[in-house]
Amino acid sequence: MIVRRWRNKKKRLGNEVQPDEILFDSSNLPSFDRDHFEGRIERPLNQRTFTIAEIVLAVIALALVFRAGDLQLVHGASYTTRAQQNQLAQATIFADRGIITDRTGVPLAYNERQSVADDFASRTYANFAGLAHVVGYVKPPAKDSTGTYFRNEFIGLDGAEKAFNDELAGQNGTQLTETDAQGKIVSQSVTEPAQQGQKITLSIDASVTQALYSAIAKQAQASGFKGGAGVIMDVETGELLALTSYPDYSQQLVEEGDTKAIAAINADSRRPFLDRATNGLYAPGSIVKPVVAAAALTEGVIDENKQILSTGSISVPNPYDPAHPSIFKDWRANGWVDVRHAIAYSSDVYFYEVGGGFNVPGQPVQAGLGIDKLDQYFRMFGFGSDPGLAGFNDADGNLPTPAWKAATFPADPTWHLGDTYHTAIGQYGVQVSPLQAAREAAAIANGGILLTPQLIASSSPQGTKIAVSPYALQVVREGMRLGVTDGIAQAVKLGAVHVAAKTGTAQVGTSNQFENSWMIGFFPYEHPRYAYAMVLERGPAGTLQGSPGAMGQFLQWMQANAPQYLQ
């Protein structure tokens, strides 16, 4: 039975199995772990399995080849750029710009971040009228069409923003960002932190400056002047308490790049972008007479008691046409005046003769300074040169001389006595800025120190001593005070403070159809603390209300709102 069954199995298996193998395997069966496939007879894989595996592997290989081609051939360049940019990118951490405040601590320019997503804080300007030119504005960082910053800093373009750009700018920081192939941030690290710019405290008082601007604007609009400017300077330090130009502009709209607003400003014939206080040049008229008086007293051309008669004009023989003498008019007949009264009443005849001399047969002879001495003293008092306000492009102005005339008017190069006369009263080719005029007034007030204007609070005084007689300056100061008490500068006659002043009117235009209205002065008269200069530009000839009226309104505001500056 046993033999038959084995034979049958033998036939089925096709291979002979020896009895000892069966007995050997059977003895080991209990130790096999069938859950781990021990003791089982393995069957070889058939050809179909290999065929399926080969097909699957082939499909995978084709997919990999296709993907590699897409990555390298079709999108290779873009993926390469993306990989280079995204794997490890360096980004700028924008530094906050330093804030600008006035002397009392009021913020005038500061930073505001509109959103946490913003790369940098926007520059914001305080809403004060009349501060645009002195504070200025900036050009912010900017991106190109791809979102890449081509300008990664603020750039000051005007005023203090430009003058102190290096101090305000601060220092940008750096941040490294690691991203994966899908643009997801893997890690970030700040390798260099940003450093905020320095705080700048200006010497100006924002409220005082706004009040000065408002007085100028009100008078200009009422009397038809095109523009104007005002300066108030500390006579000891040169610090500027106020510096303003009318009309001004919106710093915020310009900084934000409002194209319509900028176009409107550029189209305004009054030229709002012009800083008239520092770069406006005007014929000064009679505000130069205190300098001429100081020069004549210092040079011994006159003494303090010298009187000259003004009947309304003087006549000088014309060597080219004896039948038609040259007539030089005064603005009115002032009678006999000494130098103090000549300043107080602004006698043109007095300064014609003192400036150019007068030698007519049958009339008293008067020596004159001459054009060379006039030029010398004008320059000593700061005319014809940059006032030196750090960071501002101050205009030099012009002083007429024989050389200047020969170069400017080649058809008539000869210097005439009448040219000297007109120069001595601030006409002809004389041009000065309000800042230069304020320096003149300060030098008269402080005893002859020509100060360098300062826009930073608590600045150390800088200036040069003028070679002019202290006695002469004292006489000039008395004449300017007399102009307020009894003369033509009574618009600034106040009870709370004693002011010394000199007015000036200069005719301009091809037919003298316009005028510039000036006033310079200082206060308090007894112990000068501040000097000032104001001009209203290009009003109708004969206008009666100009800078004196505006300055009077401003000083009344000071009396009520800022009396600390009048003491």
pLDDT of residue 9: 47
User: Are 289 and 392 contained in the same domain?
Assistant: yes
- CATH number, domain at 389? 3.40.710.10
- CATH number, domain at 101? 3.90.1310.10
Query: How many C-beta atoms surround the C-beta of residue 141 within 10 A?
Result: 17
User: Are 131 and 211 contained in the same domain?
Assistant: no
Say yes or no to pLDDT of 236 above 80: yes
Distance CA 252, CA 333 (A): 52
Q: In 3-state terms, what secondary structure has residue 263?
A: helix
Beta strands 335-337; 326-329: pairing state: unpaired
Assess whether the previous peptide bond of 470 is cis (omega < 30° from 0). no
Distance CA 162, CA 312 (A): 50
User: Are 112 and 237 contained in the same domain?
Assistant: no
DSSP 496: S
Choose the final residue of a domain: 168, 201, 234: 201
User: Are 350 and 488 contained in the same domain?
Assistant: yes
- Quick check: 325 and 317 in contact, CB under 8 A? yes
Residue 18 inside a domain? The answer is no
Say yes or no to pLDDT of 349 above 80: yes
- Quick check: 415 and 423 in contact, CB under 8 A? no
Q: Is the pTM of this model over 0.75?
A: yes
Distance CA 504, CA 537 (A): 12
Mean pLDDT, range 450-461, rounded to an integer = 95
For 63-80, write each residue's pLDDT tens digit: 777 777 776 766 666 666
Distance CA 347, CA 356 (A): 14
User: Are 377 and 461 contained in the same domain?
Assistant: yes
Region of 401 please: left (phi>0), alpha (psi -120 to 50) or beta. Answer: beta
Say yes or no to pLDDT of 152 above 80: yes
Show the domain range for 412: 206-565
User: Are 234 and 172 contained in the same domain?
Assistant: no
pLDDT of residue 400: 97
User: Are 393 and 312 contained in the same domain?
Assistant: yes
Residue 79 inside a domain? The answer is no
Say yes or no to pLDDT of 235 above 70: yes
How many domains does the chain divide into? 2
Burial (CB count within 10 angstroms: exposed 0-12, middle 13-18, buried 19+), residue 34: exposed
Distance CA 309, CA 338 (A): 9
Residue 16 inside a domain? The answer is no
pLDDT of residue 3: 46
Question: What angle do the packed helices 417-424 and 348-356 form, to 10 degrees?
Answer: 130
Say yes or no to pLDDT of 172 above 80: yes
User: Are 113 and 163 contained in the same domain?
Assistant: yes
Choose the final residue of a domain: 201, 233, 251: 201
- Quick check: 136 and 389 in contact, CB under 8 A? no
